[in-house]
Structure 1
Amino acid sequence: MFSGIDEVDWASMEHAYGPADDVPHLLRGLASDDPAEREAALDGMYGAVHHQGDVYACTLACIPFLFELVVDPGVRDRGGVVELLTSIGGFDLDEDDEAEIDEDEIEGAANYAMAAAAVTAGAEVFVGLISDEDPGVRLAAPLALATLHRHPVRVLALLRERLPVEPDEEVRLALVEAAGRVALRHRPLAERVGQWLGRLADRADSPGLRLAALAQLARCSPDGLPGDVVPVVSGLLREMRAATGGGTDPGRDGADGAATGPERTAMNARAVGAEPSGPAPADAEAAGTTAVDTGAPDSTSTDTTPAGTDALDLTKDTGTVGTGALDSTTDTGAAGTEPGGAHRAEQTAAPTLLGQLRALFAEENAGHATPWAADLLRTLHVGLDDRVADRTALLADQLRSPDRHQRIDAVRMSGGLIRAWRGSYEELVALVGEQVADPEPRLADAASHVLEELFSLAAPAADALAARLAADPGSWVKTWAAGPPGLGSPVKALARLGDPRVLPALAAALELPQVPHDVGAAIVHLGEAARPLAGALRHRLAEVALDEEAYDRASPLLAGLAGLRAGEAAPEVLRVLRGAPEYRGEWLRTAALRALGSFGPAAREAVPELRTLLRSPVAAARTEAAEALWAVSGDAETVLPVLSEGLRADQAHDRRTAAAALGALGPRAEAVAPRLRALLAHGELWLRVDAAIALWRVTGRSGEATEALLADWERSRHVRVRVAECLAGTGPVPEGSAAAHVLRSELASVRRHNAMDGGYGSHDIHEDEKLLALCRTALRGPGKGTTK
C-alpha cells in the first residue's frame, strides 16, 4: 500500500496550515490498527488537507492513496475515507459560479475541477463497495455513487437491486437517499424516480423506509405526494414509535384509518423490487440516458432499467442519512455525524473535532431508537417547501407526540419553518409553549430558544413563559466561562412580548455584580411597563468605573434608560459622557449621546456639554452631538451647519448619521436639499437610502425620493424595512402607484423577505413581521383599517 507516496514532493505543497509534508503521516494514520490514530488522521485530513471543503494541490495528490485505502478490506473505518473522497470530488461549479470567478480564485476553481475529474475517474470502485461486508462502507458508498459515477441510470439500477437484500435499515435509507440524489442531479430521471418512490411509500415493509420514500418524493416529484400526506406521515411516526417500543399516548394516538403492523407488511422483493410497468418507450429512455450520461462509454453499463423502478431519494444533497444532525435546526447535511455513520468500529476517546462531534451526537441521541427520523422529516419539509399549512399541521402533530425526541425535533423544525415562511402559527406556537415546562432540559431549552426569536408571534405562549419564569429562577440569567452574563431565553421571549411579568427577572438581573449585556434591549421592548426599573438603572450607571471596561458595563444601562426616555438620569449619563476613557470611548460617547437625545427637553442640563462637542475634532462626535442637541433643545440654527458639513464626512457612516438628523429637522433643513440630492447617486446603498428619506422629509416632495427608494428596494432586501418605515410615515401611498405595487407584492409573498439558506439572524422574524405591518400601514394610512 502507498507505493510511491515518498516520491511525491509533499514539502513543496501547502495545506490550510502550512507545508504539506505531514500528509504522508496522515494517510498512513488512516490505515492504522489504532482507532484513536485513525480518528486523528481523518480529523487532520478534514482540518488541513480538505479544510472547510477547500482543495489544494496536496489534496489532489492524496486521491490515489485514498482510493487504495477504500479498496483494502483490511483497513478499518473505510466508510469515513469514502465520505472524504465524496466530499473532495463532489463540488460542482455551475455556469453562474464560473462566471463569478475572479483572477484570485482561478487556481482554486481549477483544483475543484481536477478533483472532481480524478475522483469521478475512479468511481467504479464504489460499485463493489455497495455490497461490502462493512456496514459503514455500505452506508457511505451509495452517496459516493450518486455524486461521482458517470452513469446515473446504472447507479440507480445498482441501488434498486441492493435494496431488497440489504439487511441494515440505515443503509437501506442511504440507498434511498442516493437514488433520490441522482434524480435531483439528473432531472430527466425524476419522473421515473417519482413513480418508484410512490410505490415504495405505499408498499415498503418498514415505516422508516416508507417515510424516506415520501421525503424523497417531496424533493424529486412533489406532485406525486398523496393528498393526505400529513395523516400518512403521522401514522408512520406512530408505527415507528410502536416498533421501537417508544410507547403511545391513547389520548393522541387514536385510529385514523391507516393500516399498521401485519396489514402493511409486504415481502421486500415485492415492495422494492419492482413490479415494473414495462419498459419505457425508447424516446423516454433516451432522454433519461443521453442527456445524463456525459462520461466515457462503459461496456459494462446497464443503463436499460425498466421505467419506474430505478430511483429513490432521501434527506439532503449532502451528508449521510441515519446518523443524525447535531443542529437539527438546519436543512443541509448531516452535521455532527461521524464519518462512516453509526457503523464505525469501536472508538477510543481522542482530543479531535471528530471525537467531540461523536460525543455530542451520542449525547443528543441517547435513548433515541430512530435518530435518523429527524433527517427524514427535515427532508420532507424541504420538499414541501411553501406548503406552509401542511408543514404546520405535520409539526403540530409531532409536538403532540408522547416521544420527547420527536417533540425536540419538531420544536427545532418549527423554528426553521417560522423563520423562513409567513403563515398563521398561533396553534403551533402554543404547542411549542407547552414544551417549556417539560422536565427534559433539552426540550424545554429548545422551546424557549425558538420562542425567544418570535417576538410578537410568541403571544400564544406568553402564559407558559411566565409560568416557566416563576417556577425556575435559575433560567433568568445565563453565565459563561468568559464574557458578561446574558438573559435566559424565557426572559428575552417574555420581554420581547412587552409582558410586565418579566419585571422581577429583570430587576434581579440589575442586582447582579455584572449586569447582563442584553438587559437594555429587553427593557426597550417593555417601554413604559419597565419604568419601575429606572431607579436601578440610574444607580448601576452611577457605579460604573470609567476604565477600560466602562463600555461593556455602561452600554446595557444606557440602552435601558434610552428606551425608557428617563430624563431624570441625565446627570448619570453626563458623567459617563464627560469621563469616557480612551479605550472604546467613541462607542461609549455614541451610546451616551443617544440616551441624551432620547430624553428630549428633559435633558436640558446637557446643552452646554453638547454645544462644546459641536467643536470636536472628530467628525462623528460633532454629528452625533448635533443630533442630540436638536432633540434636546430644538435649536435648528445651531445644528444645521454642523449637520450640513457632516454630509461631507470621510466615512459613509458619519454621512448617514448627518442625513438622518437632517431628516428629523424637516423643512428647517430644506437648504441642504441639493447636497442630499447629490447623494442619491452615491455607491453606498444605505447612504443613498438615508439621503433619499431625508430629502423627502426636508422638501416635502416624494417624487425623486420615492423613485430612488423603490430602486434600492429591488436591489437589496436588507433596506426594505427602512424604506417601508418612510412610506408608512407619509402614507397612504396612491393606489395604483409603483409604491403600492411593490408593497402589495411584498404582502403577497409567502417567503420572508430576509430568509436565507444556511443561516439566519436572531431578529429576522421580528424584522419581517415589522415589514409586513409597515406595508399595511403605508397602503391604508396611519390609524386606518386593515389591509391584506
Structure 2
Amino acid sequence: MRSPDELDNVQWHALTHAYGSAEDVPELIRALYQDDEETAGEAIYELYGNIYHQGTVYPASAPAVPFLAHAVRHAPGKRDELLMLLAVLADHDPADVESPHWPGSSVAAICDELCRVLPDLLPCLDDGERGVRRAALRVVAAVAELLPAELGASVVVQLDRLYAADPVPAVRADAMVVLARLGRETAALDSPLPEVRLAAALLGMERSEPPYPADLVAVIAQDGAEPDPGDDDFPWSDTTTQEEQLTRLLTQDPDAGLTVAARWIAAGDLGSRGSWLAQNIAETWRDQEPEVLELLLAALPHQKDARALASRLRSIGHWIEHLPELGADLRDALHRYAGADDETAGPALLALVCSRDSRALELVLRHPTAQLLAAAARHFPEAVDQLIPVIRRELAAGATGNAGIALVGALAPFGAAARQAQPELADCLKTGRAAIVAARQLGLNGIQTPEVTDLLRNAAQSTDSSLSAAATVAHYQLTGDAGATLRAFERLLAAGGQTHWYLSSLQPLGSAAAPLLAFIEPLLGSGHQWTRMAAAEAHHWITGSPDRAVPVLAELVSPTPVGLRALKALAATGHVPEELRPTLRSFFFSPLRLLNDSPLSGQGHPDEELRTLARTLLTAD
C-alpha cells in the first residue's frame, strides 16, 4: 500500500485517464481521508468517472491501486465502495490472461498491483460490517486465478472460515463462489441456507450449457423467488449483479426460464422478477407468447403499484396480437383494468383493443387518445362511422407531435372514407402539425381543390426535405403535374444528405420519374446502406426492371432494420436469387428472435414480419 504522503512521487501529469491528464487524481485520493462523507462520496464518484469509465481502464488506473488500498484501511469511511472500485478496476475475463495482448495492458497492470496489496486487504474479510466483507470477497474474486500459490492457500483458509461460520448467509454464499473460483469445491447445493444453494445453482448454470440440469433449475425456482435486497450493491463482475446474471442465464433456456418464472410469480412475483423474466423470454425466443401471456395474467394481481401494473399491461398489449385465439379470462381481466381510474387504464384498454374484444370500442370512444384511436382503426376498420368523427374532432382540437401523426395515420385503414377528414388534413398542413403524414394522406385522398394544391405547392418548397418530398408527390397525385415534382426531387437529390428519407416517396410516380435515374443510379453504390436500399427500391419502381435493383437488395438482406426493408423491396420485385434461400430459411426456422421485438420499442413486431416474409418468399415459385 502507499499512503497519501507518496502521491507526489508519481508523475500523474504524464499519465492519462478518461478525460486526459491524470493530474486531478492525487486531489481526489486525498479527499478520501477527509472526515466528510459527502466529500469522500464525490471523490469516489469522480474516480469512477476517470480511472474507471464505463468499464474501461487507463494508464493512470494501476498507479492508483496501492493508494486506494491504503484508503480502504486508513480512510474514515466508504470502505465497501472503495473495495468495489478496486474489484471493478481489476475485472477481466480469465481467458484474457492467455491473450498476447494481456502483458502490458492497463488491466494486467491493475491486477499485478492488486495482487501485491491483497495481503493488506485480507483483514477486511473479517470486518464487522457485512458490506465490507462482501466487497472484500469481490476483490479476491477479481484476481483469484492470478494469486501466487502461497497467497491463494492462505486466502482459502480464510474463505473456508467465512463459508462455515459467517452469521450472514449472503456472505457465506459469496465465500462459496470465491472458493469455487480458487478451485476449492464445496457441497453447497445441499446447504441448509437458501442463499448458498441459490449461488451454487447459479454457479452450476454458468459452468453448463442449456438445457440446464433439472436439479439446478429446481433450486433456482425454489430459492430465487425472494432475492437478497443487498445483492444489487455488490456486482460480481463490472456492474453485473447476481440478479442480472441469473436472468441472462435463464433467458438462454426458455423452458427452464418459464418454469422458474411460473414459480416466482406463484410466490408473489416479488419485485416483478418472475414477470420480467417471462417478458425477457418472449423478447428473446419466438412462439413463447401463449405461455408468457398466461404468466403475465397470473402476475397482474401481485403488482405492488400502478406503475408496475401498467408495465405488465403494456407487455400484454404488445404480445397479445401474436395469439390467434384468446381466452375469456385474459380479456375479462383487461376489461376490468381498463375501467380503473389511474395510469393502468390506458395500457389495459390498449391491450383490450389489440385483443379485438368488442367491448374495447365503446371505451375508446368514451376516452379517446391518439394511440387508442390508431389501434382501434387498425383492429376495428368496420367501425369507420364511429371512429372517423372522433379522429376529426381530435385533429381539429390541435393535436401536435406524435399525437397528430398517430391520428393522421389512423385514417389509413379506412381507405376512401378518410376523405371525410380532408378539412382537418388541410389545416394540419397549413399549421405544420403532422405535416408530412398529412401531405401523404391528402395525396391518397385524391381530392383536388385550389386550397389543397396551393398548400402542397408551398410545402414542396420547405427546407425540410421529407416534407418537401411528400408534398410534391402528393401534388403530382392530385394534378398529374410531374414537372414540378421532378424539379423538386432534382433539387433534393443534388443536395445529398439523408436521401433515403425521401427516395421512398417516389413510388406513386412510377415511370414518370425516369428523368431522375441519372441521380439515383450512382446511389446504388453508396457507402450508406439505407441509401443503397432506397435507391434500389426507387430504381425498380421507375424502370419496372429488377436487373439493377435485385443484386443491391439481396446483398443488404439481413436481420436488421435496413435488411428487413431490403427484403420487403426484394419481395416486391418478384425475384429471389437462389443463393439467398439459405438465408431465408435461417430467418424462417430460427427459434430465436432475430430482430428486436421489445414491448418498449414502439416498432410493432419486426421479427414476425421478417419470418412471414421469409416464408412467403420460400414458398413462392
State the TM bucket, normalised to the shorter chain: 0.7 to 0.9
**Residues 469 and 475, structure 1, Cα contact 8 Å, conserved in 2:** no
* Mean CA deviation greater in 443-452 or 638-647: 638-647
- Cα 1:450–1:31 change in 2 (3 A) is farther
**Residues 315 and 599, structure 2, Cα contact 8 Å, conserved in 1:** no
Could you say which residue in structure 2 is the equivalent of 1:662? 506
Aligned: 1:577 with 2:418: no
Aligned-partner Cα distance in 2 for 1:402–1:66: 43
Which one of 485, 493, 499 corresponds to residue 648 of structure 1?
Answer: 493
Which one of 599, 605, 611 corresponds to residue 766 of structure 1?
Answer: 605
**Residues 594 and 628, structure 1, Cα contact 8 Å, conserved in 2:** yes
Could you say which residue in structure 1 is the equivalent of 2:257? 391
Q: Which of the pair has the greater relative contact order for Cα pairs under 8 Å at 6+ separation? A: 1
Could you say which residue in structure 2 is the equivalent of 1:247? none
C-alpha displacement of 1:641: 2.3
Which one of 372, 381, 385 corresponds to residue 528 of structure 1?
Answer: 381
Could you say which residue in structure 1 is the equivalent of 2:566? 723
C-alpha displacement of 1:603: 6.4
Aligned: 1:173 with 2:173: yes
Aligned-partner Cα distance in 2 for 1:770–1:421: 15
Which one of 545, 557, 565 corresponds to residue 713 of structure 1?
Answer: 557
How big is each residue's C-alpha offset from its partner over 1:363-383, in whole Å with a ceiling of 9 and x where there is no partner? xxxxxxxxxxxx45x534433
Which one of 201, 204, 207 corresponds to residue 214 of structure 1?
Answer: 201
**Residues 436 and 468, structure 1, Cα contact 8 Å, conserved in 2:** no
C-alpha displacement of 1:216: 1.5
C-alpha displacement of 1:528: 1.9
- Cα 1:156–1:124 change in 2 (3 A) is closer
Could you say which residue in structure 1 is the equivalent of 2:188? 200
Aligned: 1:689 with 2:533: yes
C-alpha displacement of 1:680: 1.6
C-alpha displacement of 1:58: 6.6
**Residues 754 and 764, structure 1, Cα contact 8 Å, conserved in 2:** no
Aligned-partner Cα distance in 2 for 1:496–1:600: 27
- Cα 1:409–1:508 change in 2 (3 A) is same
**Residues 52 and 58, structure 2, Cα contact 8 Å, conserved in 1:** yes
Could you say which residue in structure 1 is the equivalent of 2:304? 440
Aligned: 1:775 with 2:609: no
Identical amino acids, percent of aligned pairs: 23
- Cα 1:680–1:123 change in 2 (3 A) is farther
C-alpha displacement of 1:225: 4.5
- Cα 1:231–1:454 change in 2 (3 A) is same
Which structure's residues are more often helix, by fraction?
2
- Cα 1:683–1:648 change in 2 (3 A) is same
- Cα 1:489–1:117 change in 2 (3 A) is farther
Could you say which residue in structure 1 is the equivalent of 2:585? 744
How big is each residue's C-alpha offset from its partner over 1:378-413, in whole Å with a ceiling of 9 and x where there is no partner? 5344335543223223323332x233417x101111
Which one of 230, 243, 260 corresponds to residue 323 of structure 1?
Answer: 230
**Residues 475 and 490, structure 1, Cα contact 8 Å, conserved in 2:** no
How big is each residue's C-alpha offset from its partner over 1:490-525, in whole Å with a ceiling of 9 and x where there is no partner? 344344555554445544554xxxx67x55654564
Aligned-partner Cα distance in 1 for 2:497–2:374: 26
C-alpha displacement of 1:59: 5.4
2:595 is paired with a residue whose SS is: coil
**Paired residue total:** 600
**Residues 27 and 65, structure 1, Cα contact 8 Å, conserved in 2:** yes
- What letter is aligned with 1:749? S
Could you say which residue in structure 1 is the equivalent of 2:456? 610
Aligned-partner Cα distance in 1 for 2:326–2:147: 49
**Residues 221 and 261, structure 2, Cα contact 8 Å, conserved in 1:** no
Aligned-partner Cα distance in 2 for 1:739–1:634: 41
C-alpha displacement of 1:711: 1.6
**Residues 216 and 379, structure 1, Cα contact 8 Å, conserved in 2:** no
- What letter is aligned with 1:139? R
Which one of 55, 67, 70 corresponds to residue 68 of structure 1?
Answer: 70
**Residues 137 and 174, structure 2, Cα contact 8 Å, conserved in 1:** yes
**Residues 452 and 492, structure 1, Cα contact 8 Å, conserved in 2:** yes
C-alpha displacement of 1:578: 2.4
Gaps of at least 5 residues in structure 1 are: 101-108, 184-191, 245-320, 336-374, 478-487, 581-586, 783-788
Aligned-partner Cα distance in 1 for 2:463–2:250: 58
Aligned-partner Cα distance in 1 for 2:100–2:390: 58
2:594 is paired with a residue whose SS is: coil
Aligned-partner Cα distance in 1 for 2:71–2:29: 9
**Residues 129 and 138, structure 1, Cα contact 8 Å, conserved in 2:** yes
- Cα 1:711–1:211 change in 2 (3 A) is same
**Residues 492 and 522, structure 1, Cα contact 8 Å, conserved in 2:** yes
Aligned: 1:142 with 2:130: no
Aligned-partner Cα distance in 1 for 2:93–2:377: 47
How big is each residue's C-alpha offset from its partner over 1:334-359, in whole Å with a ceiling of 9 and x where there is no partner? 57xxxxxxxxxxxxxxxxxxxxxxxx
Aligned-partner Cα distance in 1 for 2:11–2:238: 37
2:591 is paired with a residue whose SS is: coil
Aligned-partner Cα distance in 2 for 1:498–1:728: 29
1:130 is paired with a residue whose SS is: helix
Could you say which residue in structure 2 is the equivalent of 1:472? 340
C-alpha displacement of 1:745: 0.9
Aligned-partner Cα distance in 2 for 1:476–1:138: 42
- What letter is aligned with 2:446? P
Aligned-partner Cα distance in 2 for 1:701–1:61: 65
**Residues 335 and 349, structure 2, Cα contact 8 Å, conserved in 1:** no
* Mean CA deviation greater in 456-465 or 213-222: 456-465
Which one of 531, 542, 553 corresponds to residue 698 of structure 1?
Answer: 542
- What letter is aligned with 2:196? L
Which one of 342, 347, 352 corresponds to residue 489 of structure 1?
Answer: 347
TM alignment of 1:114-513, pairs within 5 A: 115=110, 117-149=112-144, 151=146, 158=155, 161-162=160-161, 163-178=163-178, 182=181, 196=185, 199-201=187-189, 203-222=190-209, 225-227=212-214, 229-236=216-223, 323-325=230-232, 333=239, 375=242, 378-384=244-250, 386-399=252-265, 401-405=266-270, 408-438=272-302, 440-441=304-305, 443-454=308-319, 456-457=321-322, 460=326, 463=331, 466-475=334-343, 488-497=346-355, 499=357, 501-504=359-362, 506-507=364-365, 509-510=367-368
**Residues 498 and 529, structure 1, Cα contact 8 Å, conserved in 2:** no
1:754 is paired with a residue whose SS is: coil
* Mean CA deviation greater in 718-727 or 125-134: 125-134
C-alpha displacement of 1:708: 1.7
Aligned-partner Cα distance in 1 for 2:479–2:160: 81
**Residues 534 and 561, structure 1, Cα contact 8 Å, conserved in 2:** yes
Could you say which residue in structure 2 is the equivalent of 1:82? 83
Aligned-partner Cα distance in 1 for 2:502–2:48: 49
How high is the TM-score relative to the length of structure 1? 0.65
Could you say which residue in structure 1 is the equivalent of 2:478? 633
**Residues 251 and 277, structure 2, Cα contact 8 Å, conserved in 1:** no
- What letter is aligned with 2:90? G
- Cα 1:144–1:685 change in 2 (3 A) is same
- What letter is aligned with 1:440? K
- Cα 1:464–1:166 change in 2 (3 A) is farther
Aligned-partner Cα distance in 2 for 1:450–1:332: 29
Could you say which residue in structure 1 is the equivalent of 2:440? 594
C-alpha displacement of 1:81: 0.8
- What letter is aligned with 1:610? L
**Residues 121 and 136, structure 2, Cα contact 8 Å, conserved in 1:** yes
